[in-house]
Chains A and B, each alone.
Chain A
């Protein structure tokens, strides 16, 4: 337990160092990149003096480490990610946070579907190991995993929206039909409960099912070979009892680590699915911000994304030692 504690302490200590590294690199990349945010924001309007004034106001003429310090001070002390250059008179927080909330709704539902279909699929395949149904069941979902969302979404839109006309082509309801009162303005709409959400949610969840199915199958097959499972069978337990009490309890433990991978896959998938279906979420916002050279928005996405990612992986490690104390974390790298 002592070494476990040391390991976790060491990991947590590394989090700020990695975050500093990431934010500084992202900041430098964004500042040195091509294009001029002031010009992009100005559009057709050309006034050198105004450009100078905006530069002065935003501190774009300062040396980079001072710009970085000013920016990060705002982030750490006030959770203030600065102003966007593209949406005038809005702060990054006002644009980004509602968008993240919308993305979160989709990702939560998609994750539930992925897990809810993937785990039973894996158990099904493991129970029929050696028959043709084992590879067939997983492979059919592997096909879905291999079709990129980039290709699947346009065809889904074409088929269900344009040809059949049963689903709307946009990913977010125009008039919100489910409103939760009490949430702050901009957040009260639960847009994922609508017909608009069906295509984006499916496009997000289908590719992950095969991953969950394969992991579940591998873990279940491993456990089914154990002596205690044979013992449980030989003492006459019903198959249901064997699976429920002896196999699945042990097989599903390691799956907690898969959640981290799954979340990452979902977030990456959000970029394309949101851009293609027009969900006004964080992925689409990032896509547009990169094109519009919206430095502060890109920075905010990178900082929030990396922090969440880092904390998730540390949390999964901690969770893992709690639910399975046999794991010697110090030997994790082996």
Chain B
């Protein structure tokens, strides 16, 4: 449905022979985007998030270009200095530039949130929800009961337990992969840590979104356009991808965006506990932990202020965006 309307809209767009006709129809997603643009505070949040992600994902490039330092680059001559033109955020105890470390820590957040969104949110959450809702029967029962089991656990506690206990096993596995394939540097790159963190987050994160999708699919399955599609001989694949998925896309967007703050926060919390990303790889959790002793805060407040503000801004931005998207996609709740 969305597609047809979009086509009409582009046909009457500028340049066509109907260019002077008032365009009044937009796709549902376009409409949602327009509504979102009107929400000033949410847009500020969105811009902040975009800058954060852009900086975070370009950390290696920025380092190569010489704009920021590598996160391991030490200069003991300038250790624990306050902000200066040379080091805008100051330096830490080893003389590492804090701005560089914040940008590299942002890269960690980017990797973990995107990986968790893809595996836990899209791959596990959406496909289990679809499967459960559309196939039904014992598949539905099995998936939902397993989901109940996961949802009924204290998440943070289990995340800490998993990350604290399985770290060595995952590292060993990565080492044997290195030996077997001859690819070096997997363990040194910190990939096992990232894998464990986003893996654990995904295992506990898929349930919520799967339940929501399943509920929607259950009601959509009985609608007339699905019956019609089936009657005209559409394959299951076509029904799922062309008819069901587009109709739940807005719900997917809303629930993923609402979960983002939780994912980013969990990684920080795990690392703060010492069971997440391991040093020397930077993470906001580690930056905050190193700076949070009362005496450290007293003597070098910049070590906590800058990472703290960046994280608070990110979580605030996610919350604002999630709220705004809920408003935009479910206008009834306004």
Q: Is the interface of B mostly helix, strand, loop or mixed?
A: helix
Q: Is the interface of A mostly helix, strand, loop or mixed?
A: helix
Interface size class, chain A: 35 or more
Select the residue from A145, A151, A313 with max chain B CB neighbours within 10 A: A151
Q: Across the two chains, which residue of chain B brings its CB closest to A139?
A: B41
Query: Which A residues lie within 8 Å of B152 (CB)?
Result: 18, 306, 309-310, 313
Query: Which A residues lie within 8 Å of B231 (CB)?
Result: none
Query: Which B residues lie within 8 Å of A30 (CB)?
Result: 161, 165
Q: B35 on the interface (CB 8 Å rule)?
A: no
Interface residues of B in 207-248 (CB under 8 A from A): 211, 214-215, 218-219
Contact A29 B161 (CB under 8 A): yes
Looking at the complex, which one of B153, B154, B268, B273 makes contact with A267 (CB distance below 8 Å)?
Answer: B154
Q: Across the two chains, which residue of chain B brings its CB closest to A157?
A: B294
Interface residues of A in 139-155 (CB under 8 A from B): 139, 142-143, 145-148, 150-151, 153-155
Mask: chain A, 216-240; 1 = CB below 8 Å from B; 0 = not? 0010000000000000000000000
Q: Across the two chains, which residue of chain A brings its CB closest to B311?
A: A148
Contact A302 B167 (CB under 8 A): no
Mask: chain A, 13-47; 1 = CB below 8 Å from B; 0 = not? 01001100110001001101110000000000000
Contact B164 A301 (CB under 8 A): no
Q: A113 on the interface (CB 8 Å rule)?
A: no
Contact A146 B154 (CB under 8 A): no
A92 to B214, CA, bound (A): 42
Looking at the complex, which one of A33, A34, A271, A306 makes contact with B156 (CB distance below 8 Å)?
Answer: A271
User: Smallest CB–CB gap between A169 and chain B, Å?
Assistant: 6
Given that A148-B311, A290-B164, A306-B153 are known contacts, is A18 also in contact with B148, CB under 8 Å in the complex?
Answer: yes
Contact B162 A29 (CB under 8 A): yes
Interface residues of B in 280-325 (CB under 8 A from A): 285, 288-289, 291-294, 297-298, 301, 304, 307-308, 311-313, 315-316, 319-320
Query: Which B residues lie within 8 Å of A135 (CB)?
Result: 41
User: Smallest CB–CB gap between A42 and chain B, Å?
Assistant: 20
Q: B60 on the interface (CB 8 Å rule)?
A: no
Contact A155 B297 (CB under 8 A): yes
Mask: chain B, 150-170; 1 = CB below 8 Å from A; 0 = not? 001111111011101111110
Q: B274 on the interface (CB 8 Å rule)?
A: yes
User: Smallest CB–CB gap between B296 and chain A, Å?
Assistant: 8
Query: Which A residues lie within 8 Å of B292 (CB)?
Result: 150-151, 153-154, 276
Given that A18-B152, A32-B169 are known contacts, is A333 also in contact with B211, CB under 8 Å in the complex?
Answer: yes
Contact B168 A34 (CB under 8 A): yes
Mask: chain A, 120-154; 1 = CB below 8 Å from B; 0 = not? 00000000000000010001001101111011011
User: Smallest CB–CB gap between A20 and chain B, Å?
Assistant: 10
Query: Which B residues lie within 8 Å of A306 (CB)?
Result: 152-154
Query: Which A residues lie within 8 Å of B183 (CB)?
Result: none
A268 to B158, CA, bound (A): 11
Q: B265 on the interface (CB 8 Å rule)?
A: yes
Query: Which A residues lie within 8 Å of B313 (CB)?
Result: 146
Q: A298 on the interface (CB 8 Å rule)?
A: yes
Contact B144 A151 (CB under 8 A): no
Given that A32-B169, A333-B215 are known contacts, is A151 also in contact with B304, CB under 8 Å in the complex?
Answer: yes
User: Smallest CB–CB gap between A333 and chain B, Å?
Assistant: 6
A309 to B157, CA, bound (A): 12
Query: Which A residues lie within 8 Å of B51 (CB)?
Result: none
Query: Which A residues lie within 8 Å of B162 (CB)?
Result: 29
Q: Across the two chains, which residue of chain B brings its CB closest to A287?
A: B273
Q: A272 on the interface (CB 8 Å rule)?
A: yes
Contact A151 B312 (CB under 8 A): yes
Contact A26 B308 (CB under 8 A): no
User: Smallest CB–CB gap between B81 and chain A, Å?
Assistant: 20
Can you show 23 pairs from A to B with CB atoms below 8 A apart?
A22-B153, A32-B165, A33-B165, A142-B316, A142-B319, A146-B261, A150-B272, A150-B308, A151-B307, A154-B292, A155-B297, A155-B308, A158-B294, A158-B298, A264-B154, A267-B154, A268-B154, A272-B269, A286-B160, A302-B161, A310-B152, A333-B144, A334-B215
Q: A157-B294, A305-B157 are in contact. List 11 more A-B contacts (CB 8 A).
A: A22-B149, A29-B162, A143-B316, A150-B272, A151-B308, A155-B304, A155-B308, A162-B294, A169-B294, A290-B160, A302-B154
